[in-house]
Chains A and B, each alone.
Chain A
Amino acid sequence: MKRLPEIRLADLSRYLESCGLVSALYPELLDHLACEVEERLWAGLSFEEALRTAISEADPETLRLLGIEHKHLLAMEQSLDDIVFEGRNQQYGAYVLRREYKRTVQRATLLGVTLFLLIFLLPNLYARLVPDPDEREFGFEVTFEDVVLIKPTVTPPPATPAPPPPAVKTVRSLPPVVLPDNQVPVDSPPPTLDELEGAQPGEATVDGLANVDIVVPPAERVVRSSETVLEVKPEAEKVHLYVEQQPTYRGGSEAMAAFLRKHLRYPHQAARVGVQGKVYVEFTVGADGTIEKARAVKGIGFGCDEEALRVVQMMPNWVPGKQAGQPVRVRFTLPIAFQLE
């Protein structure tokens, strides 16, 4: 048995390489050629001759066709990547990346989904694995202590005398009293019937013609009582909030409205801003009807309050309010409306 020595084998492989054989086919064809050569060697040919005959069968053209055929075969199952990278440096890395791309994406998707689910399920999982401790499993150590009862020392509050009920404001209002003659302060005693005979009641006693047509009402019989006169003090000092007869503007509300219309000026400032509303002016109507202590209780600003105050202070004297027939000081609140037209 003659085996091809390494050197001869190298010759063969050099030949195949020179023909530009596809690497995938190379080992197989090398073996085939080597076998051919060996066979011829056994038949007694010299190596050179054997090589020549073997190669005559495997001439470069045949090898080239073989390579092309093999390539076509591969192309059927070749991917796009293999075609793109044909004849380029596949060791560079891009080829591997592209070839592995599908698998990488698959793996990444799987991993991503797994992680995502894990993140969501982790709390749930944790809760399942580590259940919340049952409240009944807790034990509490309780130590009992003697309770020292402290008797509250109740000291009754010193009996303070109940404050006297506030004096109810009362206004002295007495009905007219009939007094005995000798006790009536006589300033100008009413005229007697005799004097009125043929005369009329008037402001002064004037001697004139007696009018006969006048019917004189019958005089009332007066029952005399024995009560004494009570002094009625004028209550000018006190300011009342409400009295029997409220103070009024002299001439009535119509006159007051006219007065206000005449004197009230809409302040420029308020007019510019467009402020409207009511200014409540509080003042005291004195016993003599003067306006005092006027102030704006509730205003709308922008000069309206001041204007209302000014006009109120300009007002002539009012008819004072009366209590039990006596003029008294009364506090009065007057709303003054400012309205833009």
Chain B
Amino acid sequence: MENNGNNEYVRGTIKTIVLNLLAERGRMYGYEITHEVKDRTDGEITLTFGALYPVLHKLEQEGYLETESEAVDGRLRKYYSLTTQGSETARTKTHDLARFVEAVKLLLNPPGLATD
């Protein structure tokens, strides 16, 4: 599995990814999130639901997310959306991650080698 290599990095950023997506899209359900992530990264990053749902639940318990259930096609679909506290956190986390990624880029591609 090719994303196994990514999992290590995904694990640390999954919270931020979820919060960022929700900040963008308003409200989403679990499958929608994995689908969206997969779509945007061309399958480079996949969120297995074994990884996604614990994060969702944890965020919910911490008060960053709120949920509402809706019946769709004979089954209950649970939608997640950000609370005000959640959107605040989403902003800072996204910002933090962006800076981190920049820093990692600098590490991986030293300016001297970038041009070759």
A: which residues have CB within 8 A of B?
3-4, 6, 9, 25, 27-32, 34-36, 39, 57-58, 62, 65-66, 69-70, 73, 76-77
Q: Taking the complex as formed, is B53 at the interface, i.e. its CB lies under 8 A from any CB of chain A?
A: yes
Q: Taking the complex as formed, is B69 at the interface, i.e. its CB lies under 8 A from any CB of chain A?
A: yes
Of all chain B residues, the one with the shortest Cβ separation from A72 is B54
Give bound CA distance, A66 to B78, whole Å. Answer: 17
Are B53 and A29 in contact, with the CB atoms below 8 A? yes
A6-B74, A73-B57, A77-B61 given; A28·B35 CB < 8 A:
no
Are B30 and A32 in contact, with the CB atoms below 8 A? yes
Are A27 and B75 in contact, with the CB atoms below 8 A? yes
Query: B35: shortest Cβ distance to chain A, in Å?
Result: 7
Q: Taking the complex as formed, is B41 at the interface, i.e. its CB lies under 8 A from any CB of chain A?
A: no
Number of A-B contacts (CB under 8 A): 60
As a 0/1 sequence over residues 43 to 74 of chain B, the CB contacts with chain A under 8 angstroms (1 = contact) are 00000111001100110010000000100111
Q: Is the interface of B mostly helix, strand, loop or mixed?
A: helix
Give bound CA distance, A58 to B30, whole Å. Answer: 14
Query: B106: shortest Cβ distance to chain A, in Å?
Result: 35
Are A27 and B78 in contact, with the CB atoms below 8 A? yes
Are B50 and A76 in contact, with the CB atoms below 8 A? no
Q: Is the interface of A mostly helix, strand, loop or mixed?
A: helix
Of all chain B residues, the one with the shortest Cβ separation from A61 is B50
Are A31 and B58 in contact, with the CB atoms below 8 A? no
Are A66 and B61 in contact, with the CB atoms below 8 A? no
Interface size class of B (residues with CB under 8 A): 20 to 34
Are B73 and A4 in contact, with the CB atoms below 8 A? yes
B: which residues have CB within 8 A of A?
29-32, 34-35, 48-50, 53-54, 57-58, 61, 69, 72-78
User: Which residues of chain B are near A36, meaning CB under 8 Å?
Assistant: 31
Of all chain B residues, the one with the shortest Cβ separation from A5 is B74
Which of A27, A31, A34, A70 contacts B54 (CB under 8 A)? Answer: A70
Give bound CA distance, A158 to B37, whole Å. Answer: 141
Which of B30, B32, B72, B73 contacts A28 (CB under 8 A)? Answer: B30
Query: A26: shortest Cβ distance to chain B, in Å?
Result: 9
Give the residue among A28, A36, A57, A73 with the most B Cβ atoms within 10 A. Answer: A28
A27-B69, A32-B30, A73-B61 given; A9·B75 CB < 8 A:
yes
Of all chain B residues, the one with the shortest Cβ separation from A36 is B31
Give bound CA distance, A25 to B49, whole Å. Answer: 12
Give bound CA distance, A66 to B52, whole Å. Answer: 10
